[in-house]
Structure 1
């Protein structure tokens, strides 16, 4: 049951949908609750109803699994249908308890919100529009090494992958996208309903710390006095340039005998295809380069795995140069957080990066595939403390001006939600 709301004046009832709540609603949901709105989250992440920062978090259970032998282009959509029907059942239980949201906020990428207008046709639905899958270059075939599907077959697969986006477009009253690049992947007929507003970086928390310390392999402590090169993926994989960084690593270690290289990232896959033969991308590229790296040099390479946020922050604060590589894809929060921590950035010259970074003003950029240029520019930056300091200061100032959570992004999200509530709701369509 949803506990009775205690405030005297409830402006709106708001339902948040996220398979890994709070996700992108980490700051927005509590801020809406603080304004006096009744905020409920529906998620499979919890097993029983709980309270989190004045938000009521309600569970639903996903049942079933993808059909064995199903066409691979349908497997992804079947998984989304399973999640959507499970979320629908959870929503029906909320409705029977008398909960009638004015606004539904949903990250629809996993399909959960597909049938919620059938439960509450008068609710306004605002979608977090992370990415529309585009079948043209440079989205398809950007990295031919890992995209070997026939061109036409790839286009058809991508079209099927957008079934979830297309069904949500019919019921979306408004959408919000974190970057212009991501918003621009959506078709023209979405654009008039899309607002661009990043989730925001807490620049009061993510800031330089001259006394930062990071414990790495064998208990070694790294500080700002060390030559630390940093690299981060949620999971170490090609979409975020892990293979490029690893192929540059032997020469980097050879040319920088005092450097300590630290990598954060898991062994799974966040984007793209799984590694072949039951292996991990992490190990595949370690195996590719290990014969060119001496045992002593390997001791200067530290794979930290997935780490708590405070340890991630310490790594950013001790970094001398942070390397960020990505396909034309969703921009990682970690780039903006590294900029906020006043890191000197060396990043791939790809479209999502160019939106956040300006060459020789807030960072340096290199061709994604050019390992020689990556090594040369990295070494040049490590040899130039004045340039590093200038780039780092400019990067932090840029993030504070355009991506700061409290002064820029969160107010824009709150305004968007309250404007959403005034729209005429779109009903579900047959």
Structure 2
């Protein structure tokens, strides 16, 4: 089977799936991505696309995302046409269509099945936008969101089938498309991401942390309000007042992945450090770190704080659970799909730094109860989000789509023969 992945940041959400398919000699796996993508060592046949230009400044700002999507789609289509000319015709294309890359796949390969990863469908109310009163949504913002979804609607109509990693993320998409979308999380490698009570973690100042220390961890791609960074810092200030030995270890960059940038040009880290008072000797910002160090950090964590507005559920929360962390998660819809308060984690009010601090302190005060919660967290991932489960479900839908195309082609050939 010839499989083509399309993802601007390949492998992105397809890291394990691409490796799994590439390991089977029956498959030829090819990928298309942008130049900045990390790529995958097991997929050497990776082709780069680059849009011809950026959206024009004169384009209405509601339509910047659409124009960007069309430019990406055009650039990918050019690569597809070259591959087609060379004789390559994939049996299935697996794409993240959020940036428009898969818009014209079916125009180049009409008979090829297109499986798209539907991560999020935007709403003015009931999801991420307008959730946090510190960052209210203007009418202009509402109109921009409605227009932004036009690209997602095109993607929904173009694909043969879709994937969403959680039930809540699927539910955000228009009901008339739900029959197209299956809920499949790629999964967590629970053998690699596992507890290790003998693990150590060396801080930049040379201090070595172990499982015996009071270590509060926070991880996000970038330190921003969408992932509750502001509320975490306020809770950390409260814990710093209550306890003298707690170390706060924070992983994440200073860019903005989601939401608006601060209007004054500062980073959110700079702004929060001006607001709160925390002993700087116990506050450790690591920026972005290698995956192995990130896993080691989870393994020495006493309390792992995961806060998010109602948005895409981070892989890091499930990895923290798999590593046996006590996850303190915001009581928001995507988190509640996985965490059950008091059973496999602790749910806290996103808007209450005191509530978050109380939960962190509970991690230090009730060791026997916390150990049960830690074990249950890992068991949740093993039972529902283990890598083998996700790969098996992906394999099933891929085989079904390819088989349906083969069957359709056979019927069409038989009709011609008659």
Q: Tell me, yes or no, whether TM beats 0.5.
A: yes
- TM-score bracket, shorter-length normalisation: over 0.9
Q: Which residue of 2 aligns with 1:346?
A: 328
The answer to whether the 8 Å contact 1:33/1:55 transfers is no
Q: Distance in 2 between matches of 1:244 and 1:325?
A: 8
Within 5 A, what are the aligned runs for 1:187-336? 187-289=174-276, 292-293=277-278, 297-336=279-318
The answer to whether the 8 Å contact 1:46/1:59 transfers is no
Change (3 A) 1:51 1:258: closer
The answer to whether the 8 Å contact 1:345/1:363 transfers is yes
Q: Which residue of 2 aligns with 1:389?
A: 371
The answer to whether the 8 Å contact 1:21/1:45 transfers is no
Within 5 A, what are the aligned runs for 1:140-219? 140-150=129-139, 153-219=140-206
Change (3 A) 1:54 1:242: closer
Q: Distance in 1 between matches of 2:134 and 2:404?
A: 46
The answer to whether the 8 Å contact 1:324/1:346 transfers is yes
Q: 1:377, CA displacement in angstroms?
A: 1.9
Q: Which runs of 5+ in 1 are unaligned?
A: 1-11
Q: 1:54, CA displacement in angstroms?
A: 4.9
Q: Distance in 2 between matches of 1:144 and 1:387?
A: 35
SS of the residue corresponding to residue 175 of structure 1 reads strand
Q: Deviations over 1:67-122 (max 9, x none)?
A: 12432211122211221111111111111111111111100111111111111111
Q: Cα RMSD over matched residues?
A: 1.8
Q: Judge which range, 327-336 or 380-389, deviates more.
A: 380-389
The answer to whether the 8 Å contact 2:166/2:185 transfers is yes
Q: Does 1:41 align with 2:22?
A: no
Q: Which residue of 1 aligns with 2:416?
A: none
User: Normalising by the residue count of structure 1, what TM-score does the alignment of the two structures yield?
Assistant: 0.91
Stretches (4+) displaced over 4 A: none
Q: Which residue of 1 aligns with 2:391?
A: 410
The answer to whether the 8 Å contact 2:51/2:71 transfers is yes
Q: Which residue of 2 aligns with 1:7?
A: none
Q: Distance in 2 between matches of 1:51 and 1:94?
A: 20
Where relative contact order (Cα < 8 A, 6+ residues apart) is larger, the structure is 1
Q: Distance in 1 between matches of 2:319 and 2:129?
A: 28
Query: Which of 2, 6, 9 lines up with 1:20 in the alignment?
Result: 9
User: Normalising by the residue count of structure 2, what TM-score does the alignment of the two structures yield?
Assistant: 0.93
Q: Which runs of 5+ in 2 are unaligned?
A: 409-418
